A and B are shown apart, each in its own frame.
Chain A
Amino acid sequence: DQQVKQNSPSLSVQEGRISILNCDYTNSMFDYFLWYKKYPAEGPTFLISISSIKDKNEDGRFTVFLNKSAKHLSLHIVPSQPGDSAVYFCAASLRGLVNSGAGSYQLTFGKGTKLSVIP
């Protein structure tokens, strides 16, 4: 049973426009979320993260929004650039359980969304 879902396998966006990548989760215990970017035949690189106590985190062109009631998060890239073309993975962590001694910092990943930014 997939606990972290990225329902769009691919997304195409024109250069300069906004890219919106979506992620849904089913485990309400998840309380920390991360986005990774991955080029073919390379390891993922950390992009941005958000704690469940926030609903928005921004870093340059990248903004992550979290809607806890809907168990949904999204990554916005504005403006999109051709170099942003990659696979984006959403991941979730159980930080609260770790702090209570009941868990570990394992990440649960979605299957990824391939973003293509068209020049």
Chain B
Amino acid sequence: DGGITQSPKYLFRKEGQNVTLSCEQNLNHDAMYWYRQDPGQGLRLIYYSQIVNDFQKGDIAEGYSVSREKKESFPLTVTSAQKNPTAFYLCASRRTTSGKPDTQYFGPGTRLTVL
């Protein structure tokens, strides 16, 4: 059945290392998003992509990079330039055709801990 997968569930990295978080969807959604959640905070948008080979910075893009080479995949790289990378990262996708185009559907998330 269709959905959004994020792997791994938990990820540990040493300070100064880049790390890539995976996000795959088989919902045939055009748009994909990356959010970060910190304790007591809402979801903050890192990057989004409305279509393959195109992506836009969100509110907190510094220290992150993305690619969108395939419709199904939207990996997020947390670089060493990100000052506080420890957080819960959420990927979402959205159908851009009929129905409720605003509604984003989320994956299960990846908890990144930088030691």
Contacts and interface: CB of A to CB of B under 8 A. Distances in A.
Given A44-B90, A105-B31, A106-B48, A111 B105 contact: no
Interface of A: 4, 9, 32, 34, 36, 41-46, 49, 89, 93, 95, 98, 104-107, 109-112
B101 interface: yes
Chain B, interface SS category = strand
A104 B50 contact: yes
A98 B101 CA distance: 10
Contacts of A4: 42
A109 B43 contact: yes
B107 A34 contact: no
B14 interface: no
B71 interface: no
The 5 closest A-B pairs by CB, nearest first: A43-B106, A109-B42, A93-B102, A111-B42, A109-B43
Interface residues of B, number: 31
Contacts, number: 60
A44 B43 contact: yes
A46 B17 CA distance: 34
B111 A46 contact: no
Kindly name the residue among B6, B92, B106 whose own CB sees the greatest number of chain A CB atoms within 10 A.
B106
Given A41-B111, A43-B90, A105-B94, A111 B103 contact: no
Interface string B31-59: 10000000011111100101000001010
B42 to A, nearest CB: 4
Nearest to A5: B42
A107 B101 CA distance: 11
Contacts of A106: 45, 48, 58
A49 B43 contact: no
Contacts of B63: none
A11 to B, nearest CB: 15
B104 interface: yes
A105 B103 CA distance: 9
B100 A9 contact: no
B109 interface: yes
A41 B105 contact: no
B109 A42 contact: yes
